[in-house]
């Protein structure tokens, strides 16, 4: 007779369930809910605003089978452990599971796993808690807030702009940051300025110094004429050393990662999107197969804004530093970092779960990007308990009176590392804005910034003392222009979201994905550009909902949600304060918001077909020109505006392809899911087809393979004869037959273990041809319709 099980343990992730099952053994049943099991309905608001904001939670259809399975296992055990993630979302999932299982007569526990290691799991199981209703109410209030904003504003946008648009309480504010930055860039007027570097000499030793002050103020040399005048005034001047300052400077280590910092550094140092960083971190947290070491979670919970470190982990880290790097690299006392007041301190900082899992030891078991992220987390954690970096910083001022009687000051600076301290392991990355600041501010940076900017800029000086005369050998002027603020990257946008209190670290990756997936922004070379649609929507929302579309309001709402979680505020009252004024604002917006969809702006551009004037209209893909003689003339044209606002017709990109319906030429067009071919006689003929990659379809033989994007921007390949032919695959086909099974194509793949190789798509065959074991791929121009974000997402899935 089979031994009865002690309890059912329910987690969110199947991979986590598998890991935990190994730790708990056969006495327990460990199953996964695979995320949320209940949500508000998609077809209606699902919130009763007249009766205490009662939510109409419904079982997610795709989860019905999972719930039935959980119910079946729950019947056979006396105890139930709800072990979903230790955050608000996890608490809501736990509550809904408890609600669905109707665990009457059973002992129900809530357990929180901060890390997925055997010791952490067993300890948490030995100290179970109760469901945290305050945390659940905070999550429920957030969900209802988001539903009220999204489902009430979005229909107005459908009516005024186009169907299918969405607005979000946090998403729209994040989009506004990107749009406002673009407005700053467009409005920016570049100003000319000049810098001057001099080469000075004494006793045959040359050293350089930069023009630093004029009459004690920052020099203002704004054009070549002014620079020429300055150079004339410096001819024949006598130069003296006015000050010599040599100081020892130090830099402190940064605290271990919180979610936002991990996402920022993942972007700066590894080039990962926030979404990719979180997906990789999730895998490292849930458990990795480490061979003889077993399956273990490698990092603590990755959604946290606390920099707290458990004492045992602190001691282990310090022991490791002493043994690996020597006691001179270990800080005299533990470095304790303060968590900011607004942070939730329920979880530790992100750190390795054990000092046993060194990067070198686990590397063979991790994919390339998993390892890179783990190494980043490891290095940041180790460095936080190391000594300060020590630099010798030197600044020498050289002065003269020019011919006009002005006091001119040049300064030579340098910084030489005396002891690397924590920088031996880790240094934090910089955003473009920080670098611009350093370049512009030069020697007026703060001590810590100046040390960072001048690190290892060695200054070789002759023997000098104050009052010594030095010779000016030559001067080199340089022209510069002030630069506009840089467009956002993942790192800089997350930094601003965090600083302004918009959203929470656990939501940043979703926010950034949403504004891209909804075509409000696009990423080019890792920077965010607002689309015309994003700009139009933002302008409308800011005009109609000024109170709700600003960072101060959004940050205040986050604080109120925190108060609900802390038991300081009632969730229904909080929603009531928001809803009443918001409801009035909605009614006004329905009437007052500009009707972009029906707006027609006259231009002086003549229709190429009937000579009537063209009108600017707004459609699914943004603004376009349409003939005012519609419907008699259906001519449309793409356009752009130059810097002066003048309309320029965008020439059609002709191809050698012929339309299969009307025999007109085909042109390249760009749409929501990349580039495609369209009939040049549009709108009379609306035939389109995808751009192919030059490989014949292996299924129908008459079609060609085309690269496409799914609605989630993942690249895939399918026959251009779809739906007549349904061939599709994720891996890129190659026009090369399989030598074993004679399949007409092979596919390209890259893995850490095998590098870059060709593989037969026939699962029964298994033919593989190694092209490059190192993983290098032939360099080629990107296919038509491919995009940076699509390629990146493919690598995330791979």
Q: Classify the C-alpha dihedral 515-518-521-524 as positive or negative.
A: positive
Beta strands at 28-32 and 7-11: parallel, antiparallel or unpaired: parallel
Q: From the centroid of its chain, how far is CA 402?
A: 52
Q: Measured over all CA atoms, what is the biggest interatomic distance in the chain, rounded to whole angstroms?
A: 105
d(CA 140, CA 135): 9
d(CA 720, CA 704): 6
E runs forming strands in 290-405: 295-296, 389-401
Q: What are phi and psi of 750, to 5 degrees?
A: -135, 125
Q: Would you call 301 a catalytic residue per the annotation?
A: yes
Q: How many residues in total does the chain contain? A: 798
d(CA 477, CA 304): 50
Nearest-CA neighbor of 303 among 89, 118, 130?
Answer: 89
Residue 554 is encoded by which pair of tokens? 């959004």
Which residue of the set 81, 95, 193, 301 is catalytic? 301
d(CA 416, CA 393): 6
Kindly tell me the burial class for residue 485, based on how many C-beta atoms sit within 10 Å of its own C-beta (0-12, 13-18, 19 or more). middle
Ordered DSSP codes for 195-248: EEEEEEEETTEEEEEEEEEETTB-----SHHHHHHHHHHHTT--EEEEEEEEEE
Contact 279, 319 (CB under 8 A): no
CA dihedral 737→743→747→751, nearest 10 degrees, is: -110
For the beta carbon of residue 770, count every other beta carbon within 10 angstroms.
10
d(CA 48, CA 332): 59
For the beta carbon of residue 564, count every other beta carbon within 10 angstroms.
25
d(CA 128, CA 142): 26
Q: Could you list the active site residues?
A: 301
């Amino acid at each position: 007779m089979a031994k009865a099980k002690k309890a059912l343990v329910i987690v969110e992730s199947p991979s986590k369930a598998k890991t935990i099952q190994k730790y708990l053994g056969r006495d327990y049943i460990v199953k996964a809910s695979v995320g949320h099991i209940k949500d508000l309905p998609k077809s209606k608001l699902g919130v009763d605003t007249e009766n205490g904001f009662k939510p109409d939670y419904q079982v997610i259809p795709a989860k019905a089978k999972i719930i039935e399975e959980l119910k079946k296992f729950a019947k056979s055990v006396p105890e139930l452990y709800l072990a979903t993630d230790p955050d608000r979302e996890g608490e809501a999932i736990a509550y809904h599971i408890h609600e669905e299982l109707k665990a009457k007569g059973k002992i129900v526990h809530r357990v929180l796993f901060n890390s997925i290691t055997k010791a952490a799991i067993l300890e948490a199981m030995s100290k179970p808690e109760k469901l945290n209703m305050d945390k659940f109410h905070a999550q429920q209030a957030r969900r209802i807030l988001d539903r009220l904003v999204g489902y009430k504003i979005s229909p107005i946008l459908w009516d005024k702009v186009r169907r299918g648009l969405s607005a979000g309480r946090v998403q729209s504010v994040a989009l506004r940051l990107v749009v406002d930055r673009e407005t700053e860039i467009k409005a920016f007027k570049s100003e000319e300025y000049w810098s001057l570097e001099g080469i000075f000499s004494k006793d045959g030793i040359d050293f350089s110094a930069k023009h630093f002050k004029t009459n004690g103020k920052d020099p203002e040399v704004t054009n070549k004429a002014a620079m020429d005048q300055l150079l004339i005034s410096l001819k024949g001047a006598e130069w003296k050393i006015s000050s010599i300052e040599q100081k020892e400077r130090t830099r402190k280590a940064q605290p271990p990662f919180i979610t936002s910092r991990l996402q920022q550094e993942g972007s700066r140092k590894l080039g990962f999107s926030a979404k990719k960083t979180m997906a990789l971190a999730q895998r490292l947290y849930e458990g990795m197969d480490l061979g003889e070491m077993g399956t273990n979670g490698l990092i603590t919970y990755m959604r946290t804004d606390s920099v707290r470190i458990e004492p045992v982990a602190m001691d282990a880290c310090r022991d490791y530093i002493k043994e690996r790097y020597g006691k001179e690299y270990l800080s005299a006392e533990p470095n304790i970092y303060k968590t900011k007041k607004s942070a939730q301190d329920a979880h530790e900082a992100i750190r390795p779960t054990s000092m046993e899992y060194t990067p070198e030891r686990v590397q063979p078991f991790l994919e390339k990007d998993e390892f890179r992220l783990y190494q980043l987390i490891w290095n940041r954690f180790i460095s936080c308990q190391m000594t300060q970096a020590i630099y010798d910083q030197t600044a020498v001022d050289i002065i003269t009176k020019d011919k006009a009687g002005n006091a001119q000051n040049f300064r030579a600076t340098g910084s030489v590392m005396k002891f690397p301290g924590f920088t031996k392991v880790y240094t934090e990355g910089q955003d473009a804005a920080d670098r611009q600041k350093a370049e512009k501010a030069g020697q007026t940076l703060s001590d810590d910034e100046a040390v960072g900017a001048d690190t290892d800029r060695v200054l070789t000086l002759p023997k000098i003392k104050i009052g010594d005369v030095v010779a000016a050998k030559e001067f080199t002027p340089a022209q510069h222009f002030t630069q506009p603020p840089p467009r956002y990257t993942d790192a800089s946008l997350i930094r601003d979201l965090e600083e302004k209190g918009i959203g929470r670290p656990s939501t940043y990756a979703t926010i950034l994905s949403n504004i891209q997936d909804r075509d409000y922004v696009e990423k080019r070379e890792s920077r965010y550009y607002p689309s015309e649609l994003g700009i139009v929507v933002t302008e409308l929302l800011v005009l109609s909902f000024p109170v709700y579309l600003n960072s101060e309001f959004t940050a205040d709402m986050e604080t109120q949600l925190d108060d609900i979680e802390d038991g300081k505020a009632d969730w229904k009252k909080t929603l009531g304060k928001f809803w009443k004024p918001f409801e009035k604002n909605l009614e006004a917006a329905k009437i007052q918001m500009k009707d972009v969809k029906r707006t027609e702006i006259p231009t002086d551009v003549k229709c190429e077909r009937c000579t009537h004037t063209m009108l600017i209209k707004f459609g699914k893909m943004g603004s376009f020109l349409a003939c005012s003689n519609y419907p008699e003339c259906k001519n449309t044209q793409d356009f752009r505006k130059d810097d002066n606002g003048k309309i320029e017709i965008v020439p059609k990109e002709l191809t050698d392809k012929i339309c299969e319906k009307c025999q007109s030429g085909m042109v390249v067009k760009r749409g929501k899911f990349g580039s495609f071919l369209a009939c040049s006689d549009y709108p009379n003929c609306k035939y389109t087809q995808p751009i192919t990659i030059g490989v014949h379809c292996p299924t129908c033989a008459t079609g060609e393979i085309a690269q496409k994007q799914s609605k989630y921007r993942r690249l895939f390949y399918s026959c251009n004869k779809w739906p007549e032919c349904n061939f599709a695959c994720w891996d890129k086909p190659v026009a090369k037959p399989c030598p074993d099974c004679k399949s007409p194509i092979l596919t390209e793949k890259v893995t850490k273990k095998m590098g870059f190789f060709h593989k037969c798509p026939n699962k029964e065959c298994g033919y593989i041809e190694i092209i490059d074991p190192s993983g290098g791929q032939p360099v080629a121009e990107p296919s038509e319709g491919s995009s940076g974000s699509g390629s990146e997402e493919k690598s995330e899935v791979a």
